[in-house]
Amino acid sequence: MLTAPGQRPVEISNVYLSMVPDGVARVVWTFPRLKVPPVRLSHGPVFPGRVIPAAKLTASVQGNVAAAEKPRYQTAFASATTWYAADGYVIKTFRYPVTRFPSHIPSSGTITETEKMVGTPVPPGC
């Protein structure tokens, strides 16, 4: 399913797609530079940190669908979408929150004292 106009593009088979209104001739998606810190899994390995470079991706428009092939190195969400008219005039720019990466991920199944559930047990058969 494609996104509504103004939403972040969706990725389908390494292609970014987005719906655009009439009059949009091209779309530019801006991807932020993100610093991914090293991640340590509880009782597990440490994955090294890295930097995802900033990028701008220009999408062509056919009908009301903007599409561009996803760059091989790009793994972040778009931080902005800009719609352009055929004459190069900026129609509208949408900005989105930038993802923050956690530096610690607990192992699955780990429950701390504050996360334990309390209450009445569910009777059998419910």
Confidence band (pLDDT; 50, 70, 90) for 114? very low
79 residue type, one letter: S
d(CA 88, CA 79): 21
Write the CB contacts of 73 (distance below 8 Å, at least 6 apart in sequence).
Answer: 52, 53, 55
Q: Is the pLDDT of residue 27 over 70?
A: yes
**Token reading at 80:** 């902005």
> Going from the N-terminus, what domains does the chain have, and what CATH number goes with each?
1-37+47-98 (2.60.40)
Encode 83-109: b = buried (16+ Cβ within 10 Å), e = exposed. bbeeeeeeeeeeeeeeeeeeeeeeeee
Q: Is the pLDDT of residue 4 over 60?
A: yes
Give residue for tokens 């009301």: 64
Tell me: the pLDDT tens digits for 48-92?
888 878 889 999 999 999 999 988 766 678 889 999 999 999 999
Q: Is the pLDDT of residue 106 over 70?
A: no
Mean pLDDT of 18-46: 86
Specify the pLDDT at position 1. Answer: 47
d(CA 53, CA 60): 22
Specify the pLDDT at position 75. Answer: 66
Q: Are strands 90-95 and 80-84 parallel, antiparallel or unpaired?
A: antiparallel
103: left (phi over 0), alpha (psi -120 to 50) or beta: alpha
Mean pLDDT of 18-29: 94
Mean pLDDT of 35-54: 80
pLDDT higher for 93 or 108?
93
